[in-house]
């Protein structure tokens, strides 16, 4: 997070009612800090951040996991791809040629299965459906009304892209896992939970 702030970006941190020292660790950094009064899930945190940035008049939006797995050097390149391709949203990918990642084979398999489940629901087949790094413009931000609070929010984003006929691209990015990100990130058992959430989303949508 410090590296992103140091690059001069306007950063919005959404604290989803954490019980650790997150707020204390952010002291002294030039950013916007928002906190949920109750734990609402990742999808809700993203929507809170997007709505806040919209009110601030943001032209480009970036979703960026705060656990240290993403590389802030990918941001300007993805913005350039957004502009060059005239896309409304650019999805980061760990699996396109040129991507750099130390993802395990087991986690890679789970994510590959999940992307096909997402395709059945949304009609969009991404190479990496659960990558937290995305760049999108104000038009896309206006259509992204995330109601799925848990991991199925990634499916909902794809569904909203398809429903509103937003143009999209993918970009190979760098994701490096350390012990902390492995604990905080997607576990293999979460793959089953994701499939279950997606099916519930499909049934009750």
pLDDT of the chain along its 205 residues, tens only? 688 988 999 999 999 998 887 788 888 899 999 999 999 999 999 999 999 999 999 999 999 988 888 999 999 999 999 999 999 999 999 999 999 999 888 888 888 888 888 898 889 999 999 999 999 999 999 999 999 877 788 989 999 999 999 999 999 999 988 776 555 555 555 555 665 666 565 555 5
Q: In this structure, are strands 168-172 and 89-93 parallel, antiparallel, or unpaired?
A: parallel
The residues spanned by each domain of the chain are: 2-204
Angle at 154 between CA 178 and CA 77, to 5 degrees: 65
* DSSP label of 159: H
What the block records as the tokens of 100 is: 């750099």
Cα–Cα distances (Å) from 137 to 5, 60, 183, in that order, read 20, 5, 32
pLDDT of the residue at 193: 62
Q: Tell me the DSSP string of 51-120.
A: HHHHHTT-SEEEE--TTS-B-TTHHHHHHHHHHHTT-SEEEEESSSTT-EE---HHHHHHHHHHHHHHHH
Q: For the chain, give percent helix, strand, coil, nearest 5.
A: 45, 15, 40
What the block records as the tokens of 83 is: 């502009």
List the one residue out of 134, 78, 130 whose CA is nearest residue 108: 130
pLDDT of the residue at 164: 97
* DSSP label of 15: E
pLDDT of the residue at 131: 93
> What's the CA gap between 34 and 8, in Å, rounded?
19
**CATH among 3.90.550.10, 3.40.50.300, 3.30.1330.10, 3.40.50.1360 for 2-204:** 3.90.550.10
pLDDT of the residue at 121: 85
pLDDT of the residue at 191: 55
Cα–Cα distances (Å) from 70 to 51, 52, 78, 177, in that order, read 22, 22, 13, 9
pLDDT of the residue at 160: 95
pLDDT of the residue at 113: 85
Residue tagged 């848990």 (tokens): 150
* DSSP label of 37: S
pLDDT of the residue at 184: 56
pTM: 0.88
> What's the CA gap between 151 and 124, in Å, rounded?
17
């Amino acid at each position: 997070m410090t590296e992103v702030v140091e690059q001069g970006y306007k950063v919005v941190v959404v604290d989803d009612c954490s019980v650790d020292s997150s707020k204390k660790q952010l002291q002294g950094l030039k950013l916007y800090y928002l906190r949920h009064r109750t734990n609402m899930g990742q999808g809700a945190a993203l929507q809170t951040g997007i709505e806040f940035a919209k009110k601030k008049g943001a032209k480009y939006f970036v979703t960026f996991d705060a656990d240290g797995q993403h590389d802030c050097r990918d941001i300007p390149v993805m913005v350039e791809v957004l502009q060059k391709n005239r896309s409304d949203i650019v999805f980061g990918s760990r699996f396109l040629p040129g991507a750099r990642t130390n993802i395990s084979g087991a986690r890679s398999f789970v994510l590959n299965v999940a992307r096909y489940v997402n395709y059945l629901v949304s009609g969009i087949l991404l190479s990496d459906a659960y990558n937290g790094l995305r760049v999108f413009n104000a038009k896309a931000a206006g259509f992204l009304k995330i109601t799925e609070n848990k991991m199925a929010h990634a499916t909902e984003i794809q569904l909203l892209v398809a429903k509103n006929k937003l143009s999209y691209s993918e970009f190979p990015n760098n994701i490096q896992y350390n012990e902390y990100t492995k604990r905080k990130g997607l576990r293999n058992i979460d793959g089953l939970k994701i499939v279950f959430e997606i099916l519930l989303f499909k049934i009750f949508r």
